[in-house]
Amino acid sequence: PFERAVRAEVFRHFAGGAHEVDAGVVARSGGWDIDEAAAALTSLHDQHRLVLHPGTTRVWMAHPFSGVDTGYTATIGNRTWWANCAWDSLAILALLGEGIARGHGPRGRIRWTVADGTVEPEGWIHLVVPARRFYDDIGFT
């Protein structure tokens, strides 16, 4: 239950527009001990529920949100969220509302508009790594 609450707090911060979330941020907002929050984040990382920057308690990825600027974004109005990949930029819009997803592809920058339950323009998102191998090197994936 505690790890679930910590994970929910991480998502709350990212959904609210935060770009940097770590044990200190989570502990303060949740009213928890920082060491307990850090232990929960480490456990969640070990379970592949989120990804921490190596050797820290700073969240790198809480799919679909990214704690680093990867060049993939989701924008609703004047608010922008960082995503890990094209798929995640669209997932953020599926979670939070209609808007614009941006990323990069073999021919340069890509822009998708999500409105009325559809994505324009139609196209493909190529996943280079099979899903079962994502965590072999999640940073590359």
* Residue pLDDT, tens place only, 64-104: 999 999 999 999 999 999 999 988 999 999 999 999 999 98
What is the model's pTM?
Answer: 0.88
Does residue 100 sit within a domain? yes
Same-domain pairing of 53 and 84: no
Does residue 88 sit within a domain? yes
Strand order in the sheet with 72-76: 51-52, 59-62, 65-66, 79-83, 72-76, 99-105, 108-115, 118-120
C-alpha–C-alpha distance, residues 75 and 86, integer Å = 13
Range of the structural domain that residue 96 is part of: 72-134
Does residue 67 sit within a domain? no
C-alpha angle with apex 22: 21 to 25, nearest 5 degrees?
Answer: 80
Same-domain pairing of 76 and 120: yes
Q: Decide if pLDDT at 105 tops 80.
A: no
Does residue 25 sit within a domain? yes
C-alpha angle with apex 22: 62 to 12, nearest 5 degrees?
Answer: 50
Same-domain pairing of 125 and 84: yes
Does residue 139 sit within a domain? no
**Where are any strands of DSSP class E within 1-141?**
51-52, 59-62, 65-66, 72-76, 79-83, 99-105, 108-115, 118-120
Tokens of residue 99, six digits? 């808007």
Same-domain pairing of 77 and 116: yes
Same-domain pairing of 97 and 128: yes
How many domains does the chain divide into?
2
Last residue of a domain, one of 62, 84, 103: 62
23-30 helix and 34-46 helix, angle to the nearest 10 degrees: 120
Q: Decide if pLDDT at 61 tops 70.
A: yes
